[in-house]
């Protein structure tokens, strides 16, 4: 079953074709990885899917219903959450209060969802800290916890482990797979190819705003176009 779909989606910034004719469909209960060199359009595609940039052309579907004119806030209410490539936390709020902002996006957040998000992301020890007191890796976890506190059924993650060490990346990979096993559909942007192979059920590779390969992780990473464009081989 397809949860979210982009059909011939383009986002142009003046003459820059950041995304140019992308077709993408995310299947329920799977983690789809999105690979591509810097500037290939990954973040712009996430922005398009979450209605944070206007489309130049194309169609967006959530559960088969067009939503390319929907307001971003309505997506949170429909179970779509995201994290950003750069950490966006409110510096004067505690970790717990930042996470609570996610729950506040839902009309009726499930009881205990904030504590659950904090516990799952390993933030239990720092709930009263403020973002400025956290390591970069920990502040990235708060981003993920805030998204989980919206109780999403679809989670879009833009480089969630950038700046984390190997052990932290492994923990996030395990968390995402646990969430997948509980039914959470995910789109994951990451540069660490091994992590993508270990974490994702499907891979999509982009270059110059277009999809150049999609399929199983082993198919995509051995694709000659992907190796040339992305892996520098
Ligand atoms: P990625 O996430 O794959 O690194 P981006 O989606 O951030 O790629 O960027 C794709 C292209 O669009 C790049 O050439 C980038 O410079 C350009 N771009 C992204 N955002 C903007 C913007 N707000 N205005 C103009 N150009 C942009
Ligand atoms: Mg990006």
Which residues are found with C-beta within 5 Å of the ion, ligand 2?
A: 42-43, 85
Nearest CA to ligand 1 atom 14: 39
Q: pTM here?
A: 0.95
Instruction: State whether residue 72 is helix, strand or coil.
Output: helix
Across 95-119, average pLDDT:
94
Beta carbons of 150 and 102 less than 8 angstroms apart: yes
Query: What is the rounded CA–CA span in Å between residue 143 and residue 130?
Result: 13
The string of pLDDT tens digits covering residues 205-224 is 999 999 999 999 999 999 99
Q: Among residues 53, 64, 52, which one has the least CA distance to residue 7?
A: 64
41 CA → ligand 1 middle, Å: 6
- Asked casually if ipTM beats, i.e. exceeds, 0.95, the reply is yes
The string of pLDDT tens digits covering residues 151-161 is 999 999 999 99
Q: How far is CA 173 from CA 20, 33, 146, in A?
A: 30, 12, 17
Query: What is the rounded CA–CA span in Å between residue 37 and residue 18?
Result: 12
Beta carbons of 209 and 12 less than 8 angstroms apart: no
The string of pLDDT tens digits covering residues 167-206 is 999 999 999 999 999 999 999 999 999 999 999 999 999 9
Q: How confident is the model at residue 107 (pLDDT cuts 50, 70, 90)?
A: confident
Two tokens at 144? 């993920």
Q: Identify which ligand lies nearest to the alpha carbon of 84.
A: 2
The mean predicted confidence, pLDDT, of the chain is 94
Across 106-128, average pLDDT:
94
Phi and psi (nearest 5°) for 3? -90, -50
222 CA → ligand 2 middle, Å: 23
| pLDDT score, position 4 | 98
190 CA → ligand 2 middle, Å: 9
Q: Identify which ligand lies nearest to the alpha carbon of 45.
A: 1
Domain ranges of the chain: 1-79+153-233, 87-151
Residues contacting residue 223 through CB under 8 Å, at least 6 positions apart: 205, 212, 213, 215
The string of pLDDT tens digits covering residues 29-81 is 999 999 999 999 999 999 999 999 999 999 999 999 999 999 998 999 999 99
Ligand 1 pocket mutation, candidates 6, 16, 56, 187, criterion most atoms within 8 A of CB: 16
| pLDDT score, position 85 | 87
Q: Identify which ligand lies nearest to the alpha carbon of 44.
A: 1
Across 126-138, average pLDDT:
94
117 CA → ligand 1 middle, Å: 31
Q: How many CB atoms are located within 10 Å of the residue 178 CB?
A: 11
116 CA → ligand 1 middle, Å: 34
Phi and psi (nearest 5°) for 220? -70, -45
Task: Name the superfamily (CATH) of residues 1-79+153-233.
Answer: P-loop containing nucleotide triphosphate hydrolases (3.40.50.300)
Q: What residues does ligand 1 touch, defined as CB less than 6 Å away? A: 13, 16, 18, 36, 38-44
Q: How confident is the model at residue 233 (pLDDT cuts 50, 70, 90)?
A: low
Q: How far is CA 41 from CA 9, 16, 114, 122, in A?
A: 11, 10, 32, 31
Q: Give alpha helix (H) positions in the chain.
A: 42-49, 72-77, 95-103, 113-120, 136-148, 166-181, 193-199, 217-221, 224-229
| pLDDT score, position 232 | 60
Two tokens at 233? 């081989």
């Amino acid at each position: 079953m397809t949860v979210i779909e982009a059909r011939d989606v383009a986002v142009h910034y003046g003459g820059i074709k950041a995304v140019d004719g992308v077709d993408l469909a995310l299947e329920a209960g799977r983690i789809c990885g999105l690979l591509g060199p810097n500037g290939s359009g990954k973040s712009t595609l996430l922005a398009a899917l979450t209605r944070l940039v206007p489309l130049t052309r194309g169609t967006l579907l959530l559960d088969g219903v067009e939503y390319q004119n929907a307001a971003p806030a309505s997506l949170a209410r429909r179970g779509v959450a995201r994290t950003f490539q750069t950490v966006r936390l409110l510096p004067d709020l505690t970790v717990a209060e930042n996470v609570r902002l996610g729950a506040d996006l839902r009309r009726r957040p499930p009881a205990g969802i904030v504590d659950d998000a904090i516990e799952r992301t390993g933030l239990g020890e720092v709930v009263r800290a403020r973002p400025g007191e956290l390591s970069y890796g920990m502040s990235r976890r708060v981003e993920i916890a805030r998204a989980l506190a919206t109780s999403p059924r679809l989670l879009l993650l833009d480089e969630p482990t950038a700046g984390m060490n190997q052990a932290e990346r492994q923990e996030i990979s395990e968390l995402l797979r646990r969430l997948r096993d509980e039914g959470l559909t995910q789109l994951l942007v990451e540069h660490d190819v091994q992590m993508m192979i270990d974490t994702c059920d499907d891979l999509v590779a982009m270059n110059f705003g277009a999809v150049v390969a999609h399929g199983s992780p082993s198919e995509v990473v051995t694709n000659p176009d992907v190796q040339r464009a992305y892996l520098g081989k």
